[in-house]
Amino acid sequence: MTPPPEQRLGLQTSQRLALLGRLRMAEWIQMPEKEFARQVADIERDPLFNKLFFTEGSGVIRRQRWPGGRYGGSLFELQEGLVASGERVKVEEALGDKAEVLPLIRKMGRENFERYFLYCDEGVPLEEIAKRTSLPIDAVRKIHDLLLDIGAQAEFFLPQRDPGMARSYSCLARLSVEGGEASYEFFQPYWARGLYQVRYDLLEEWKREGKLDPAERRRLRHLLKRIEIVNLRQNTLFRILESLTRLQTEYLGCRREDRKRPISLRMLARRLQLAPSTVSRAVSGRSVRMPWGVEVPLITLMPGRRNVLRDVLAIWLAEPGPRPTDSELAQRLRREYGIQVSRRTVNAARHEVLKSGRV
């Protein structure tokens, strides 16, 4: 039965809004990390955000760190690097008046820096942080602002890039695997901090108790929407990074190319219940640093089955003794790697390996 015109209009409007939502999220997924860092800075400099976050013991907004995630940026080593490289003036000029707080950050130590500035687990007001760290309030504000600016000035805070990597790539984290468990050393503070966690029950109490004035109540919905979009973007990217790391745990632990698992874009999208186009946008232009120090495009952890097949055959065909037949290779692939391919596919891959000179 055909729905009445007003219902059809409603459906069309709903579908259009859903499409606009998908298009907007696609823009956020593709957004360069520098631009995203500016978006985060805009949110965290909002007076309403600061009121909701920096309320000791009862802040409405908190942070939830990623499992296995921590900060691995070079902020603590920057001073030494400046002196050794002779580029002190260049970096200080870029940081402006915030450069003067770098010695204070190193002096307070990593524990206090992470507790009060990086993760802010307690939501302590800036004035209270100044008291606890014996720092001037102006210095505390500059450190807070510096962390928001780092993402837009990544060239001063990321580890030295590998010469072979295109400058357009954004290096997200250094991957590590210990005891079969993955960990992530993020190079940007906003990545290390994880997701925003909004305590909606407490927010309702604030409303009832009149802790938000009329202007703040009007702006609240817009702020929460932006936080929701930022969370969705970051959660999508981290789920992809985490899934790839877990799927490639064996390879990351031993560095043997033949131990990579074949992962297709569609397989990963299906596993995470995402659109293949979303996964494609997420891995594009992003890189990671491997446990052995090499920076590679994130898509390196998504080798197709044919690539894995060639890597395995290159090792097997180089082994001493008579070369096995295509059927024997196909059986060995199924037995040792769980890769089921036809004899014809093995034959084609064998010729590709021999032609490339890898054997």
Q: In this predicted structure, what is the pLDDT of residue 95? A: 65
Q: In this predicted structure, what is the pLDDT of residue 85? A: 41
Whether 145 maps to a domain, the answer reads no
Do 298 and 336 have their domain in common? Answer: no
Do 230 and 339 have their domain in common? Answer: no
Q: In this predicted structure, what is the pLDDT of residue 333? A: 86
Q: What residues make up the domain containing 343?
A: 305-356
Out of 104-118, 156-170, 202-216, 231-245, pick the least confident.
Answer: 156-170
Whether 103 maps to a domain, the answer reads no
Contact 302, 263 (CB under 8 A): yes
CA angle centred on 140, ends 184 and 210, rounded to 5°: 95
Helix axes 214-247, 5-30, angle to 10 degrees: 60
Whether 34 maps to a domain, the answer reads no
Helix axes 343-356, 305-317, angle to 10 degrees: 70
Bridge partners of residue 186, in order along the sequence: 71, 173
Q: Quick one: average pLDDT of 135-140?
A: 90
Whether 250 maps to a domain, the answer reads yes
Do 69 and 169 have their domain in common? Answer: yes
Do 192 and 314 have their domain in common? Answer: no
Do 181 and 282 have their domain in common? Answer: yes
Q: In this predicted structure, what is the pLDDT of residue 79? A: 42
Q: Where are the alpha helices (DSSP H) in 31-68?
A: 33-44, 47-53
- The C-alpha R_g of the chain, in whole angstroms, comes to 25
Q: In this predicted structure, what is the pLDDT of residue 338? A: 79
Whether 180 maps to a domain, the answer reads yes
Do 238 and 347 have their domain in common? Answer: no
Out of 90-99, 127-136, 292-301, pick the least confident.
Answer: 90-99
Do 286 and 336 have their domain in common? Answer: no
Domain count, the chain: 2
Q: Helices H, strands E: what count in the chain?
A: 17, 7
pLDDT in tens, 254-265: 888 888 888 988
Whether 181 maps to a domain, the answer reads yes
Out of 19-33, 38-52, 120-134, 187-201, pick the least confident.
Answer: 19-33
Whether 49 maps to a domain, the answer reads no
Whether 188 maps to a domain, the answer reads yes
pLDDT band at 77 (very low <50, low <70, confident <90, very high): low
Q: Is the pLDDT of residue 296 over 90?
A: yes
Do 261 and 346 have their domain in common? Answer: no
Q: Quick one: average pLDDT of 330-339?
A: 85
* Alpha carbon distance 354, 359 (integer Å): 6
Do 249 and 332 have their domain in common? Answer: no
Q: In this predicted structure, what is the pLDDT of residue 157? A: 61
Do 266 and 347 have their domain in common? Answer: no
pLDDT above 70 as % of the chain: 84
Do 349 and 232 have their domain in common? Answer: no
Q: In this predicted structure, what is the pLDDT of residue 122? A: 76
Do 280 and 326 have their domain in common? Answer: no
Q: To the nearest whole number, what is the mean pLDDT of the chain?
A: 83
* Alpha carbon distance 323, 334 (integer Å): 18
Q: In this predicted structure, what is the pLDDT of residue 15? A: 54
Q: Quick one: average pLDDT of 62-87?
A: 67
